[in-house]
Amino acid sequence: MVGCKDKEVVTSKEGGTPMSFQCPVLNSTNYTIWAIKFRSIFNVHGIWEAIEPKEGTEVDEKKNNAAIALLYQSIPENMVLQVANFTSAKEIWDALKIRHVGVDRVKEARLETLELDFESLKMGVDESLDVYAGKISEIASQASNLGHTMNDKKLVRKLLSSVPEKFIQIVVAIEQFVDLGAMPFQEAVGRLKAFEERTKKKIKEEDMYGKLLFSKEDGKKKANDHKCARCGHESSKQVNRERAQDKNWKSWKNKGGKHGHQNKDHIRCFNCNKLGHFKHECPKREKRVEANLIGGKDDEPTVL
């Protein structure tokens, strides 16, 4: 049996056939995996009894020394100095276990926290699909660093079950026609993203079409507001507004001939608010002026 520290390889001959094993190196986070791998290597070499001796038996000195040599090759140099005073492989093994069992428990607690975060994760209505998919991938990556693997099947099911209702059509299609157990997570994200982009384009086109219709309807409404409800001509209110804004009133007044030949059905009087005549032609105005003259109030201004 020969140990190679640089390549971290342990070689052994069993039945005349040489076998090589990669020697795992202990660090601050991999104690559980390290212990499992190292126990299998000890069993292959037949020296596990140096760590767990049978009751009532003594550990063979050669097996004990071989186990210590392998342990020294699998731990950092600063840790070798901390266990150098121990004379048995079992003492070294127990010291390493006590040192790292706390770290192992912290890792398990962290994994439980990540699982809770993963289960409670849900995409917001206004949240970007890329951002949400990134959250799922980040939790999966953190779990992988702690020795726990979240496979694509689990990630895909989480994604499809936690997106907003606007994705319901594509989710149903994927669940019916695609094998979720064989679909990569990134493929599921790509399908949802393509659906999201098409939906955004359709909504944008509908908004533009709606604004165009609204603009046309609004223009028709404004045009109708300027027309007389009785005859369909421009309302007297609008006409008089145009007159007031026209500096050349006389030229407009005489446009098209004399007033006597004009159709006044759509003209509304500003004095009595009735159709058919102008204010200066109002009968009530003439009666009021006449009453003022009879009453001897010629000198007073006429209130119209």
Boundaries of domain holding 304 = 226-249+262-304
Considering the domain boundaries, does residue 138 fall inside one? yes
pLDDT digits (tens, 9 = 90+) for 78-134: 888 889 999 999 999 999 888 887 777 778 888 899 999 999 999 998 898 899 999
N residues, the chain:
304
Mark whether 285 and 238 lie in a shared domain.
yes
Mark whether 101 and 125 lie in a shared domain.
no
| Total domains in the fold of the chain | 3
In the structure encoding, which two tokens stand for residue 151, read together? 């496979």
Give me the helices (H) in the chain, please: 31-45, 61-73, 77-83, 89-120, 129-145, 152-162, 168-177, 185-225, 236-245, 249-253, 283-294
Mark whether 86 and 20 lie in a shared domain.
yes
Is residue 177 over pLDDT 90? no
Mark whether 234 and 177 lie in a shared domain.
no
pLDDT digits (tens, 9 = 90+) for 264-304: 777 778 778 888 777 778 887 766 655 555 555 444 444 44
Mark whether 14 and 57 lie in a shared domain.
yes
pTM beyond cutoff 0.85? no
Mark whether 31 and 101 lie in a shared domain.
yes
Q: Which of 112, 138, 195, 107 is nearest to 158 (CA)?
A: 138
Element (H, E) at 21: strand 17-22
Considering the domain boundaries, does residue 257 fall inside one? no
Q: Which of 127, 121, 130 is nearest to 194 (CA)?
A: 130
